Structure 1
Amino acid sequence: MEGTQVIWMVKKSGVTISEIGEDGEDVNRDSHRSSGYVAHRERTEESNKEGLQDVISSLTFTPSISKHQNISITCKILCDGKVKEKTFQHKRLYAKPTAPGPIKLSLTNSGEVLCSLDIEGFYPSDIQMKWNDKTSEQKKTYQNSDGTYSVHSEYEIPGRFFSHSDSVVRVSWKHESMEDWESREMSVRDKEFPWKANVQDIKVPNLLIGREAVLKCEVSNVFPDVLTVKWLKKEKGGQDLLPVVNSQTYSISELRPEKQKNKTFTYKLCLKFKPSDEGAEFICRVEHPTLEEPTEKSTGPLTIKDEESLIVGEIQGPRRWIHKEKVALYCSVSYCSEDTQVMWMVEPTHGRVEEIFNNGEDLLTDFGYMISKETEKSDKEGLLNITSLLTLIPSVSKHVGVIFTCKITSEGQTKTKEFQAKSICG
């Protein structure tokens, strides 16, 4: 009948700890204790008995492991001076596990790959885990402050496992709160795979007719330790790529891995020859499971010079830059004296030319510059070959249209070379 009142009660071990009235009605002296519960009169309508009504009331809340253990819910109805109660007791309380991140990979000292995954926020504590359909024994389960559980699971696989691009490591888990198994996968082609072969630009030295030159193709961050590197040649004006092999004309070094501190490998493949073909181009082609397709780096058409006292090559480096992705520019100087001075300068689109100084730190900071130098003896007594390196982190706001200049002064001679990026992508 009219005036029916519904009160919801939350009880723990038989003791009422919270009372919730419909649609904001405050029936609890400690009203803050009812936070998280919403009682609502869903419907009131005439019943099939004259003068009476049918009432539907709902209580909405989000279950919590820490809050709802041993909890019962009672609906108390007050109508025409009469009181009736109905109690609901849940049979089981569950929290469904979640995997907040991808599979993590790391390298062991022995060259194995340690795979791990964290599963969080489940209840009760029992959970099944499998790696590549094998039951995981290496897992550590711990309880969280909210009463739920988390697990850290590990699995070790051989380093050669990822030698094939279609190799996949899979971890699956099953909890009684779930209808079916869930899983995560990782392959060498996934963006989260921590190691991607990095093919560096080829440094082209100053080339002189009849004097031996060395081109170096370097690949870093290599894992797994499976790599194919080839030298190719394109004749001036041609389009065909011709394989370069050891011969009387060319000498190619043996491809050997160098293990780095981070347990990945670096490879260097050197090509020695005496320049003779003006405008020819040499290409280094690298194949690795982490690369979707072979990566190529080119020298560009070679410029060969007659012998002279001081030779300054063109500034080399990528012409297309990516915002906040490190860039390196090279300038090679041949047959210079020990007192040779190398100065890098930058000319903004609208502004005066400024000399670039090292930022004084070992690590390159955002939008800063770092200058380094490699020096070696030349084949002329008393003279040196110098390669000056300018490293920077480009900015769309700072470096669009900027011109970089390398100025070399040696024994009264001064030569300059300029470089400008074609584009910077944000």
Structure 2
Amino acid sequence: YFLAKPQLLVPVSRRLVGPGELKYLVTLEKFYPKEITIRWTNGVGEPQESLSSTESFTDIPDGTHSVCSEVTIPEELLKNTEFTVRVSWEHETLDTPGYKDLSIRDSDYLWTPVVKEIQKPKVFHDTPVTLQCHISGYFPNDITVNWLRRSLHQELCEETNLVIRTRIPRKEADNTYSCTATLTIIPTLSIHQGAEYICRVDHPSLERPIERITEKIAVQDLPWIPQVEEIIVPKLEEKKKASLTCNISGYFPDHLKVSWFKKEPGTDSHPIKTPLPNDYYKVIEAKDQKEKLSCQSCLKFTYTSKRDHGAEFICRVDHPILEHPIERSTGPIGLGKLSMNRTRNT
């Protein structure tokens, strides 16, 4: 007859289980005799309330025993930063019970928030812009987000009067949560030039909040009205491919609408849609947003005198800043000649 004390050889494990629960599992090994009492308690501060647990024993070839005990904790209880779970065990080899206290503030807790850098948008004077910060991998679902602005003179203030949203959290396949925090501001040159924005994220698992900071904001004041060039018309040849090109630049925001129309001799304009049933005309657009907003719109077709001679092609540009659309026209086109470009008012 011999005695062997229970040993906690591996850390207490944690696992997320649905819906919204955290499972703790403790394994005690190499003890004898087999009789052992395991008790789980929980509470705020000193754990007091007993929890129902499940135990499974394994007999080891050397004559000792091991036991796995697990308990499930509802997500809501974990939102209190002072909430603690204690697992304790009593065995005749121990003078005092062994125990382990567990909290989501433990250094080995796996599901603290992962906070990405704030996405950097283009910032223009007196135009609403939204800052976004993606947060993921956290449990329980209890995120607090605050946005702060640090001025060029290092003054720090909390943004409270602007549009602040945290999108509805999404539950991921691994039972963690994710969301995107947003802040919509209307930047001005006088207040926001050179300022930094801070997204401060707090969670019950964190000893201190996580912060992500933008670069110093460069507020731009660009021309707003689209600059629409005359349509570039190539020399037209029978049954040869042709491309009419209209270049637009200097507009903001990026809500540009470009439409092409064909006006037959003696008829009203009607829009050319892409693709047409007969596939005669196609519209292709290419936008450049690297430095300034610009767009090149091309109308591509195969010229035939029967269908196209004397027709007029119109490029219409619309934008929220415009009271009326801007139009550019090729004028009547014909075989082997360049058209007279014209500006039209609508």
Same fold per superposition (TM over 0.5): yes
**In structure 2, do the counterparts of structure 1 residues 136 and 100 end up closer, same or farther at CA, with 3 Å as the change threshold?**
farther
Say which of 217, 242, 255 aligns to 1:379.
255
1:48-100 deviation digits (Å, cap 9, x = unpaired): xxxxxxxxxxxxxxxxxxxxxxxxxxxxxxxxxxxxxxxxxxxx311111011
Say which of 29, 32, 48 aligns to 1:120.
29
Contact kept, 8 Å, 1:138 with 1:154, in 2: the verdict is yes
| Residue 97 (1) aligns with residue 6 (2) | yes
Take 1:307 and 1:296, find their aligned partners in 2: how far apart are those partners?
31
**In structure 2, do the counterparts of structure 1 residues 269 and 101 end up closer, same or farther at CA, with 3 Å as the change threshold?**
same
| Residue 157 (1) aligns with residue 73 (2) | yes
**In structure 2, do the counterparts of structure 1 residues 146 and 238 end up closer, same or farther at CA, with 3 Å as the change threshold?**
same
**In structure 2, do the counterparts of structure 1 residues 137 and 278 end up closer, same or farther at CA, with 3 Å as the change threshold?**
closer
Contact kept, 8 Å, 1:186 with 1:193, in 2: the verdict is no
1:180-204 deviation digits (Å, cap 9, x = unpaired): 1001121121111121122221111
Say which of 179, 182, 198 aligns to 1:283.
198
**In structure 2, do the counterparts of structure 1 residues 137 and 197 end up closer, same or farther at CA, with 3 Å as the change threshold?**
closer
Coordinate RMSD, CA, aligned:
2.6
**In structure 2, do the counterparts of structure 1 residues 185 and 385 end up closer, same or farther at CA, with 3 Å as the change threshold?**
farther
Deviation at 1:252, TM superposition (A): 2.3
Take 1:168 and 1:108, find their aligned partners in 2: how far apart are those partners?
19
Identical amino acids, percent of aligned pairs: 30
Contact kept, 8 Å, 2:51 with 2:71, in 1: the verdict is no
**In structure 2, do the counterparts of structure 1 residues 173 and 385 end up closer, same or farther at CA, with 3 Å as the change threshold?**
farther
- Identify the residue that residue 164 of structure 2 maps to in structure 1: 252
Contact kept, 8 Å, 2:146 with 2:158, in 1: the verdict is no
Unaligned runs of 5+ in 1: 1-91, 310-336, 338-376, 387-409, 412-426
Deviation at 1:302, TM superposition (A): 0.3
Take 2:31 and 2:206, find their aligned partners in 1: how far apart are those partners?
38
1:329-348 deviation digits (Å, cap 9, x = unpaired): xxxxxxxx9xxxxxxxxxxx
Say which of 102, 111, 128 aligns to 1:212.
128
Deviation at 1:234, TM superposition (A): 2.2
- Identify the residue that residue 214 of structure 2 maps to in structure 1: 299
Take 1:171 and 1:384, find their aligned partners in 2: how far apart are those partners?
61
Query: What TM-score results when the alignment is normalised by the length of structure 1?
Result: 0.49
Say which of 261, 274, 278 aligns to 2:186.
274
Say which of 145, 167, 170 aligns to 1:229.
145
| Residue identity in the other structure for 1:215 | L
Runs of 4+ in structure 1 over 4 Å off = none
- What SS does the corresponding residue of 2:78 show, helix, strand or coil? helix
1:109-161 deviation digits (Å, cap 9, x = unpaired): 11111111111111121111000163754100011122211111011111122
Contact kept, 8 Å, 1:275 with 1:304, in 2: the verdict is yes
Take 2:155 and 2:215, find their aligned partners in 1: how far apart are those partners?
13
Deviation at 1:308, TM superposition (A): 8.0
- Identify the residue that residue 166 of structure 1 maps to in structure 2: 82
Structure with the greater relative contact order (CA < 8 A, sep ≥ 6): 1 or 2? 2
Take 1:304 and 1:263, find their aligned partners in 2: how far apart are those partners?
40
1:253-285 deviation digits (Å, cap 9, x = unpaired): 344211111111112111223332211221111
| Aligned positions of 1:191-202 closer than 5 A | 191-202=107-118
- What SS does the corresponding residue of 2:169 show, helix, strand or coil? strand
Query: What TM-score results when the alignment is normalised by the length of structure 2?
Result: 0.60
- What SS does the corresponding residue of 2:77 show, helix, strand or coil? helix
| Residue identity in the other structure for 2:62 | D
Contact kept, 8 Å, 1:378 with 1:384, in 2: the verdict is no
| Residue identity in the other structure for 1:257 | P
Count of aligned pairs: 227
- Identify the residue that residue 275 of structure 2 maps to in structure 1: none
Contact kept, 8 Å, 1:102 with 1:192, in 2: the verdict is no
Take 2:144 and 2:117, find their aligned partners in 1: how far apart are those partners?
17
Unaligned runs of 5+ in 2: 42-47, 225-246, 248-252, 258-284, 297-346
**In structure 2, do the counterparts of structure 1 residues 266 and 385 end up closer, same or farther at CA, with 3 Å as the change threshold?**
farther
Contact kept, 8 Å, 1:129 with 1:135, in 2: the verdict is no
Deviation at 1:306, TM superposition (A): 3.8
Contact kept, 8 Å, 1:169 with 1:185, in 2: the verdict is yes
